[in-house]
Amino acid sequence: MSLFAERNYRIDTENAFKVGPHIVRVEQQKGEVIKLNLGEPDFAVPKHIKDEIKRQLDLDNTNYCDPKGLFSLREAISSQINQTRGLKTNPEQVVVFPGGKPSIGLAQQVYCESGDEVIYPSPGFPIYESFIRYVGAVPVPLHLEEAANFTFSPDQLADKITHKTKLIYLNFPSNPTGGVATRKQIEEFANVILEHCRPDMRVYSDEIYENIIFDGQQHYSISSVPSMSERTIIASGFSKSYAWTGGRIGYAVFPTIEEADVLKKLNINYFSCVPPYNQEAAREALENPLSKQAVKKMVDTFETRRNLIWKQINQIPGICCQKPGGAFYLFPNISGICEYLDLIEKHQHLPIEEQSSPANLFQMFALYGHQVAVLDRKSFGQIGAEGKHFLRLSIASEQSLLEEGVLRIKNAAEDISGLDKFLRQRPDLKST
């Protein structure tokens, strides 16, 4: 007999949220932690969007509304998708969700039978992998190549596809690596998919970082490749582009109205609708020309920080970091640190119940010993992550904080005696 249904043991979590209580504890005991773990822009929501939220509240636009999303917002989304991707979608293909996250798991519920295979990038946003076993599907991680700027080759993709492949997640610009695939690569992936996949397979293209892209690159969606819009779910949202993570507005554009209506039915079952005052403000975000300026200002700031922090992090002995082309993360390889601190050996000798990964030990030591919060490789997909020693650092903090964070990582990377003390005490294992 068990209180919880068995499926609860098959769902994972997002460590970015799990590390919060550890940070609170360290701050209570030792003082400020530099938080390079956060996946949210450190900017305010642009004023014209905030004004529209307030205006809508004053209009008492606070009731239940269309579970599929307000028509005005779906119309603005469809029009923006058509302009930016060269498509001819219609608002009835669009469904609005409370954030970019819910449609990730809902898509698995909608498309996958037990035993179907789901291909997803690893390292990748953890929710792709987390849901797969929960819905009884089979996880098929597609390991991103560090040397190829965290993309993969068409052959690697082709190798993963079988007649059971039902969903393929893509995410460019990517969390956690900041990797951006070129237009040529995206076209090659599309050709592989068109050649090898069954027609009822769907690509879930998570484009939530579409506007946060550097070096003059243009975002290119796989839905723009001829014949791909019929198979692609385009997912995006307002959390990252408009620094509005608490607004909880995201959307997905489905290949058919029939599919969108199945998702609408799930919305009715789960949460009825997304707050209409926020939806009107999201429409404002898409339609008001002031948004372009606000997004540009934020992205330029991220690019300046990326340039600076990428250089600084690469100066730490034992670290090697690819230059991210988008999003607001760095994903350094810390194999050299693990070697210098003898972390692989030390990790192996821990009692089984205390083992996680060498990079996780470093993450926890950096937090408890040097007051800097980062996330480890395993936070972004567990299957096949053994032997891969990486961290994710967010650059969504002021420059001075980022520089202090890098300094603290450097100090942790050199602190052999501090690490030994940490391993004797393991303060991170005491319940929070």
Q: Could you list the residues that contact ligand PLP (CB under 6 A)?
A: 39, 99-101, 125, 171, 175, 206, 208, 237, 239, 245, 250
Least Cβ distance, residue 346 to ligand PLP (angstroms) = 31
Q: How far is CA 285 from CA 26, 55, 83, in A?
A: 38, 14, 16
> By C-beta, is 171 or 333 nearer to ligand PLP?
171
Least Cβ distance, residue 50 to ligand PLP (angstroms) = 18
Do strands 250-253 and 329-330 pair parallel, antiparallel, or not at all (unpaired)? unpaired
Least Cβ distance, residue 426 to ligand PLP (angstroms) = 29
> By C-beta, is 37 or 175 nearer to ligand PLP?
175
> By C-beta, is 120 or 368 nearer to ligand PLP?
120
HSE-up of residue 200 (Cα within 13 Å, Cβ side) = 9
Q: Quick check: 118 and 112 in contact, CB under 8 A?
A: yes
3-state secondary structure at position 376: strand
Least Cβ distance, residue 98 to ligand PLP (angstroms) = 8
3-state secondary structure at position 350: coil
Encoding tokens for residue 385?
């992550």
Least Cβ distance, residue 198 to ligand PLP (angstroms) = 26
Least Cβ distance, residue 339 to ligand PLP (angstroms) = 30
Least Cβ distance, residue 166 to ligand PLP (angstroms) = 19
> By C-beta, is 245 or 288 nearer to ligand PLP?
245
SS3 labels along 172-215 = CCCCCCCCCCCHHHHHHHHHHHHHHCCCCCEEEEECCCCCCECC
> By C-beta, is 100 or 318 nearer to ligand PLP?
100
Residue 277 φ/ψ, nearest 5 degrees: -65, -35
Q: Is 215 exposed, middle or buried (0-12, 13-18, 19+ CB in 10 A)?
A: exposed
> By C-beta, is 206 or 284 nearer to ligand PLP?
206
Do strands 375-376 and 391-394 pair parallel, antiparallel, or not at all (unpaired)? antiparallel
H or E stretch at 417: helix 416-425
> By C-beta, is 140 or 212 nearer to ligand PLP?
212
> By C-beta, is 39 or 358 nearer to ligand PLP?
39
Least Cβ distance, residue 66 to ligand PLP (angstroms) = 20
| Residue 327, Ramachandran bin (φ over 0: left; ψ between -120 and 50: alpha; else beta) | left
> By C-beta, is 157 or 274 nearer to ligand PLP?
274
Q: Quick check: 226 and 192 in contact, CB under 8 A?
A: no
Least Cβ distance, residue 7 to ligand PLP (angstroms) = 22
Cis bond leading into 176, ω under 30°? yes
> By C-beta, is 250 or 318 nearer to ligand PLP?
250
The residue nearest ligand PLP at its CB is 99
Encoding tokens for residue 23?
């940070």
Of 104, 274, 119, nearest to 206 by C-alpha is 104
Q: How far apart are CA 26 and CA 21, in angstroms?
A: 9
Least Cβ distance, residue 39 to ligand PLP (angstroms) = 4
